[in-house]
A and B are shown apart, each in its own frame.
Chain A
């Protein structure tokens, strides 16, 4: 089921509501994958659709609206992450810790409603490790592991080649494994 792009471009509110009914859940879960906090992810999802409504005229006929919406969502998530990191950097305490001594910083406002209680601790650790990865590695990992996208869908969404997706995923897994190893070794020693 898809929405008539012509109707969307003419500003038909009903068509836009239909678009939200189809894609809002996917966008919301993508945002939750990038930012594990319900309130933040919901705000970002709202912003994604406001942006889509404003710029629907620029949407190229023949392209996939889902991919277009996912791209907007990813950009919004990047902006949010950058903003949060900037806020953190201003904290006085932050400067007191060496990055090497503290390879994983557990997300302080972790509130992912899709994660079960027994998995919460491990999920928090992997989210902390993901935050320390480069943006594109984190995105590729999130889309593949959490969204269940295949390589083709990831390459369309991220606008990169299939081999680049493969490489990003491999580097992300290696990086995560290394960071998690340090984290669990440190925790086991105490």
Chain B
């Protein structure tokens, strides 16, 4: 019984302890600290627009553009270039160039082995 009363007493003391809290003062230079933070954040934002930062962005854009151009060229150039000597675009060119006769021509175009 005594312990129970004691515990209730402790609980009430805990509740009262937060009622008696004294208001706390901030350091005198608090406003200066805040203004310094505000200004440093402003400078950080501004530093994004300085010459070295812009140069970095320009370099990045140039690299991306060069890569895109190179890729585009690589993908389209094969079809645009004329066939090199000895390179045949169709089987008919190959046949006419080597003068293959009709019998061989059928074998070549059907892709069947000659002994069949």
Contacts and interface: CB of A to CB of B under 8 A. Distances in A.
Interface string B23-34: 111110011011
Q: Interface residues of B: mostly helix, strand, loop or mixed?
A: helix
A5 interface: no
B71 interface: no
Contact of B18 (A16, A54, A145): A145
A46 B21 contact: no
Interface in A85-125: 112-116, 119, 122-123, 125
B14 interface: yes
B41 A50 contact: yes
Given A29-B23, A184-B10, A119 B35 contact: no
B34 A50 contact: yes
Interface string B83-107: 0000000000000000000000000
Interface residues of A, number: 39
Contacts of B37: 46, 50
Nearest to B13: A122
A53 B38 contact: yes
B68 interface: no
B21 A126 contact: no
A126 B14 CA distance: 6
Nearest to A129: B14
Contacts of A32: 24
Given A20-B34, A122-B10, A38 B15 contact: no
A84 interface: no
B116 interface: no
A21 interface: yes
B7 interface: yes
Contacts of A181: 7, 11
Interface in B20-59: 20-27, 30-31, 33-35, 37-38, 41
A28 B26 contact: yes
B6 interface: yes
Interface of B: 3, 6-7, 10-11, 13-27, 30-31, 33-35, 37-38, 41
30 contacts: A16-B35, A20-B34, A21-B31, A24-B26, A28-B24, A32-B24, A42-B30, A45-B26, A45-B30, A46-B34, A50-B34, A54-B38, A54-B41, A112-B21, A115-B20, A115-B21, A115-B22, A122-B10, A122-B16, A123-B14, A123-B17, A123-B18, A125-B14, A126-B14, A126-B15, A145-B15, A146-B19, A180-B10, A180-B14, A184-B10
